[in-house]
């Protein structure tokens, strides 16, 4: 085993997992620096959850190697489990235990020193103190998510793996959650987080995009947008649906996506796209040429991936 680079919390190469002969995760390389918030994006079923399960020692990769917090992901799964906090996609604490009982149980399982104080501290920090006797099953989505976060932090992990932590949580609670994540990262915790929300993706230090088990792009938001080399025209005005029908399928137009009262028309070949737009531009609409948004880029990646791998 090679000595892990000290500033990398996750350093894996060629990680592959097959289920029934199909590669769900296909040779993924990923490096995440300590203290970084790393966003993991991709359509449903793209292999994000499977990849995370391999990182935290729940699954053994079929191929590939690497380290998580300096521990070998194939052989030192027990060490990894001790230092990683994993928040599953679905709420997975005991609904028939109270908040305090759940935290106390997890603290015991991790053999947390001075357990009672650790539980009190965690209740207090996440604002769960007044609700500590409430059964977890009675909590709303936002409070369940707080409890889950508190529980996976109780053993003071160095790495947090969060699998769609904000699915089904209201905007205010999501914002509070992200403020908390940034505060934790500021204290040196590394966070790998999967999400489908663009605003959350933009709050990550760096991103990776997965589709059909393949890692398609990664980097900062700016790098991901730049690397996509996508040109986007924004159209506002009446009858956008008709304009969409006219543009769709024309050479040079790779995607036409409606965003409320605007239409985003994107293409990788800027010259060809400009030529098409030149043919349909009119005075009834406002036509603006600009760079693509992150969402345009992801939709484009998803479409390309479907052509290549599906």
Partner 1 sequence: MPRFTFHRLWAIVLKEFVQMRRDRVTFGMMVGIPLMQLMLFGFAINSDPRHLPTALRLGDEGPYARAFVAALRESGYFALTREAASEAEAAALLQRGEVQFVINIPHDFTRRLLRGERPAILLEADASDPAATGPALAAARALADSIFDRDLDGALSRLRARPGPVELRVHAHYNPENITQYNVVPGLMGVVLTMTMVVITALAITRERERGTMENLLATPVRPFEVMVGKIIPYIVVGYIQVTLILLAARWIFHVPLVGSLGLVYAVAFLFIAANLAVGITFSTLARNQLQAVQMAFFFFLPSILLSGFMFPFRGMPEWAQWLGSCLPLTHFLRIVRGVLLKGSGPADIAPELWPLLLFVAVAMAVGVKRYRQTLD
**Which residue ranges make up the site for partner 1 (CB under 8 A)?**
56-60, 78, 81-82, 84, 86, 88, 90-95, 106, 109-111
In the chain the first and final C-alpha atoms are separated, in Å, by 35
- Which residues lie closer than 8 Å to 274 by C-beta, 6 or more apart? 231, 289
158 vs 236 by CB, closer to partner 1: 158
Q: Which residue's CB is nearer to partner 1, number 111 or number 307? A: 111
How far is the C-alpha of 99 from the C-alpha of 105, rounded, in Å? Answer: 10
Cα–Cα dist 250/273, whole Å: 9
Nearest to partner 1 of 110, 178 (CB atom): 110
Compute the least distance from the CB of residue 81 to partner 1, in Å. 5
User: In angstroms, what is the minimal distance from the CB of 79 to partner 1?
Assistant: 9
Beta-sheet strand order (sheet of 206-211):
84-87, 159-162, 190-194, 37-41, 206-211, 214-219
| DSSP label of 173 | H
When the beta carbons of 33 and 81 are compared against partner 1, the nearer one is 81
Q: What is the largest CA-CA distance in the chain?
A: 72
Q: How far is the CB of 147 from partner 1 (least distance, A)?
A: 12
CA–CA gap between residue 1 and residue 284 (Å, rounded): 65
User: Closest distance between partner 1 and the C-beta of residue 138, in Å?
Assistant: 15
Q: Which is nearer to partner 1, 81 or 268 (CB)?
A: 81
Min dist CB 56 to partner 1, Å, is: 5
54, 17 in Cβ contact below 8 A?
Answer: yes
Task: Give 37 or 147: the residue with its C-beta nearer to partner 1.
Answer: 147
What angle (nearest 5°) sits at the alpha carbon of residue 201, between those of residues 198 and 207? 135
3-state secondary structure of 300: helix
Q: Is 237 left (phi over 0), alpha (psi -120 to 50) or beta?
A: left
Of the two residues 50 and 231, which places its CB atom closer to partner 1 in the complex? Answer: 50
What's the Cα-to-Cα distance from 271 to each of 253, 275, 276, 295, rounded to whole Å?
Answer: 11, 6, 9, 22
Minimum distance, C-beta of residue 67 to partner 1, in the bound complex (Å): 18
Minimum distance of partner 1 from residue 162's CB (angstroms): 12
Q: In Å, how far from its chain's centre is CA 297?
A: 15
């Amino acid at each position: 085993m090679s000595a892990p680079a000290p500033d990398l919390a996750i350093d894996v190469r060629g990680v592959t997992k097959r289920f029934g002969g199909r590669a769900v995760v296909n040779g993924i390389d990923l490096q995440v620096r300590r203290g970084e918030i790393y966003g993991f994006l991709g359509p449903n079923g793209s292999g994000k959850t499977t990849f995370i399960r391999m990182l935290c020692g729940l699954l053994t990769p079929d191929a590939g190697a690497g380290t998580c917090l300096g521990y070998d992901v194939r052989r030192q799964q027990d060490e990894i489990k001790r230092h990683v906090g994993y928040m599953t996609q679905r709420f997975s604490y005991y609904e028939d235990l109270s908040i305090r009982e759940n935290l106390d149980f997890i603290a015991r399982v991790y053999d947390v020193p001075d357990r009672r104080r650790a539980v009190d501290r965690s209740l207090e920090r996440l604002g769960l103190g007044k609700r500590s006797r409430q059964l977890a099953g009675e909590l709303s989505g936002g409070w369940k998510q707080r409890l889950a976060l508190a529980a996976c932090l109780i053993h003071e992990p160095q790495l947090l793996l969060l699998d769609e932590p904000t699915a089904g949580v209201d905007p205010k609670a999501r914002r509070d959650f992200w403020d908390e994540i940034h505060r934790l990262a500021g204290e040196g915790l590394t966070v790998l987080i999967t999400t489908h929300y663009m605003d959350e993706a933009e709050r990550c230090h760096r991103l990776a995009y997965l589709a059909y088990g393949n890692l398609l792009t990664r980097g900062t938001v700016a790098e991901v947008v730049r690397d996509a080399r996508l040109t986007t025209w924004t159209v506002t005005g009446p009858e956008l649906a008709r304009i969409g029908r006219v543009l769709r399928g024309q050479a040079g137009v790779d995607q036409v996506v409606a965003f409320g009262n605007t239409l985003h028309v994107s293409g990788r070949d800027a010259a060809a796209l400009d030529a098409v737009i030149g043919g349909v531009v009119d005075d009834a609409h406002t036509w603006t040429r600009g760079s693509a948004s992150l969402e345009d880029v992801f939709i484009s990646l998803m479409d390309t991936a479907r052509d290549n791998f599906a």
